[in-house]
Amino acid sequence: MTDLHWLTAAELGGAYAKRKLSPVEVVTALLDRIAKLEPRLNAFIKLDREAALAAAREAEREIRGGRARGPLHGVPVGIKDIIDVAGQATTCHSKIFLKNIARADAEVVSRLRAAGAILFGKLSLHEFAIGGPSFDLPFPPARNPWNPDHHPGGSSSGSGTALAAGFLPVALGTDTGGSIRNPAGNCGVVGLKPTYGLVSRRGVFPLAFTLDHIGPMTRAVRDAALVLDALAGHDAADPGSAAVAHGNFGTDLERGVRGLRVGFVRHFHESDVPAHPEVTAALDEAAKLLKREGATVRDIRLPSLQELGGVSRIFMQAESWTVHAKWLRERPGDYAETSRRKLMCGAFLSAGDYVHAQQRRLQLTDAVNAALRDVDVLLCANSLDPACRIDDDAELARTYPRQARSPFNLTGHPALALMCGLSKSGLPISAQIVGHMHDEVTVLRAGAAYERATDWHTRRPPKL
Amino acid sequence: MAVRKTKASLPDANALARAAGLDKAVRQFPEDVAIAAQSAASARGAAGALDQFAAEPWPPMQVRNVK
C-alpha cells in the first residue's frame, strides 16, 4: 500500500469505507509527519492538533456508525490563513491582522465542515495574498518541499507546501492573480481556479474584489473534483456569487480526451514572453501527449499576455489599494517591503485608468470567449520558469510576473494547474488547462486524462 | 493595439503619494513609493489603448431587486 501520507482524498474515503483505515489513524500519522518536517518547511501558521484529533474521533464514530456524509468525510484539509475559521485569528500572514479573530466560518469552511472534512489549521501565505516570500513578517515563509531553498510559489504557499510534503491531501487556496496555480505549479500538485462566482468569497479577506477566487488544491485531479463538489454553490451573501446549477464535477473524469478539441496557446510562452526552454519543451510534450490520447490539438491565438496581464494588474492595484489605503497611510512600516511596494500602486492610478481597464476587460473577455468557440479547452503555460531560490530577490522580481495565470482572473474562466515536467534542477514544471465558463467538468476531464497518461502526479520530492 | 507610455518622475510620484495621504510612506519608504509608482505606470502602459471610447465598461450597471 502507498505510504499513508501520500494517499489522496478519494483513496482515504475508499479505505474508510472498507475499514482498512480510520480517520484517527490517518490524522495521527499526518500529525507525526508534520511534527518531523514542519520546522524545515513552515507550511502552517497555526496547526490545530487537538481540534483535528477531536474531529477525527467524531468522524470515525459517524462513519463506523453508518452515518458517512460523503467522500470528504474524515479527510484532512488545511485552510489558507486568509479564510475565516470561527474563533481563530485570520492573520493573512501579517502583523496588521495578528488579533483578527473570525466570528464565523467562511462559507467554504462551513461547506467543508458539513462534508465532514477535518480542519488541520491555518496555512501560511504571502502577506495579504499579494506580497512575496518575506523575512520581515511575524511568520516565516513556507519552503518548497522539492528543495527548501526554493520558492514554493504563492500566494497560497503553505497550501502547496503542505500537499507536496505529504502533510495533507487537500488544502484551500485563493487566487487573484494566480495564487492557487503558482504554488500548485512550483510544488508539483493540482490547483483549480474555478469560474468566477462559482465558489463563495464570503469570509475570505479580499485582495481585489473582481479577481478573487477560492478553490481546491490537491495531489490528484479526482480530489479537485470532489472538493469542488463540496465548495460550489450559490451564496446570496456574496454579491459576486453565480446562481448556476451544477452537478457532479467528476462526471467525465474517466471519459478520456478522444475527440476533445484543444487549443494550444503557444504564443503566450513562445513569443509574448518567451519561457525557459525546459518549460517550452514540457508544454510541447503535454500537447503531443494529449494528441496521442486522441484529442485534436491546434494552435490558437488569444490577446497578448502583456495586454491581458496589464489590464489585470490595473484591477489588482486599484482594488487592493482601496482595501489597504487606510493602513498604508497610518502604519506602512507594519507591512513587509514586498507587500508595501505592491499595495501602494493603486495610489498612482486614476479613476480614468480604472474605467479604461473595465472597458478593456469586456473586449479581452469577449476575445477569449471567441477563441474558445472552436475548442473545448485551452492548453497553456503556468509559470514561465522553474521556481527560483527563495532568498534571491532579483530573481523573484524577474520571474514572478513571468506567468500566464492572471489572464483568467481577468476573464473569470476556470483554469486547472497540473504538473507536466521536472526541470534538470529537480523542480516541477506545470501547465494549465482552461475551459469555457462554468465548464469545470471538461477541464477536469482533460486533466484526469493527462494525469492517467503520465506519472508526474506520482513523483515525490526527494529527501522527504 | 497602441501602448500608452506614461511614467511618473520621482517628484511627481511623491506629490501623487502625498495627495493620496501617503506622507508617512514618502518619508519612511521613498524607494518603495517610487517602485509602486513605476509599477502602476507599467500596468497602465501595458493595458493598451482603446479604439472605442464609448465602449461599455464591465461589469455594466445592474439594479438589485431588494424589497
Could you give the count of Cα atoms lying within 13 Å of B18 in the half-sphere of its Cβ?
Answer: 7
Residue whose C-alpha cell is 488544502: A171
Cell of A253: 473524469
* Res B64 pLDDT > 90: no
Give the pTM. 0.96
Active site residues of A: 80, 155, 179
The answer, for B41 touching chain A at a CB cutoff of 8 Å, is yes
DSSP A80-95: ETTB--TTSB--TTSG
Q: What is the pLDDT of residue A265?
A: 98
Dist CA A132 CA A219 (whole Å): 23
Q: Among A238, A313, A344, A368, pick the best mutation site for testing chain B contact (most B Cβ within 10 A).
A: A344
Q: What is the pLDDT of residue B8?
A: 59
Cell of A259: 475527440
pLDDT digit string, tens, across residues A345-375: 999 999 999 999 999 999 999 999 999 999 9
B57: closest CA of chain A, how far (Å): 4
The answer, for A307 touching chain B at a CB cutoff of 8 Å, is yes
Q: What is the pLDDT of residue A362?
A: 94
Contact criterion met (CB below 8 Å) for A262 and A290: yes
Q: Which residues of A touch B47 (CB under 8 A)?
A: 307, 310-311, 313-314, 353, 356-357, 360
Q: What is the pLDDT of residue B7?
A: 55
B28: closest CA of chain A, how far (Å): 8
Q: What is the pLDDT of residue A224?
A: 98
Coil, strand or helix at A379: strand
Give percent of chain A with pLDDT exceeding 90: 98
Contact criterion met (CB below 8 Å) for A162 and A187: no
DSSP state of A83: B
Candidates A55, A47, A53, A5; CA nearest to A30 is: A5
The answer, for A337 touching chain B at a CB cutoff of 8 Å, is yes
pLDDT digit string, tens, across residues A132-175: 999 999 999 999 999 999 999 999 999 999 999 999 999 999 99
How would residue B5 be classed by pLDDT, with cut points 50, 70 and 90?
very low
Diameter of chain A measured on Cα atoms: 62
Amino acid at A92: C
How would residue A1 be classed by pLDDT, with cut points 50, 70 and 90?
low
pLDDT digit string, tens, across residues A375-419: 999 999 999 999 999 999 999 999 999 999 999 999 999 999 999
Give percent of chain A with pLDDT exceeding 70: 100
Dist CA A32 CA A201 (whole Å): 33
Q: What is the pLDDT of residue A316?
A: 98
Dist CA A69 CA B5 (whole Å): 57
* Res A311 pLDDT > 70: yes
The answer, for B22 touching chain A at a CB cutoff of 8 Å, is yes
B52: closest CA of chain A, how far (Å): 9
* Res B67 pLDDT > 80: no
| CB atoms A307 and B50 under 8 Å | no
* Res A130 pLDDT > 60: yes
Q: What is the pLDDT of residue B58?
A: 85
Cell of A36: 518531523
pLDDT digit string, tens, across residues B19-34: 999 999 999 999 999 9
Mean pLDDT of A211-238: 98
A327: nearest CA in chain B? Answer: B22
How would residue B3 be classed by pLDDT, with cut points 50, 70 and 90?
very low
Domains along chain A with CATH numbers: 4-306+354-458 (3.90.1300.10)
Mean pLDDT of chain A: 97
pLDDT digit string, tens, across residues A19-39: 999 999 999 999 999 999 999
Domain-wise residue ranges, chain B: 1-67
The answer, for A333 touching chain B at a CB cutoff of 8 Å, is yes
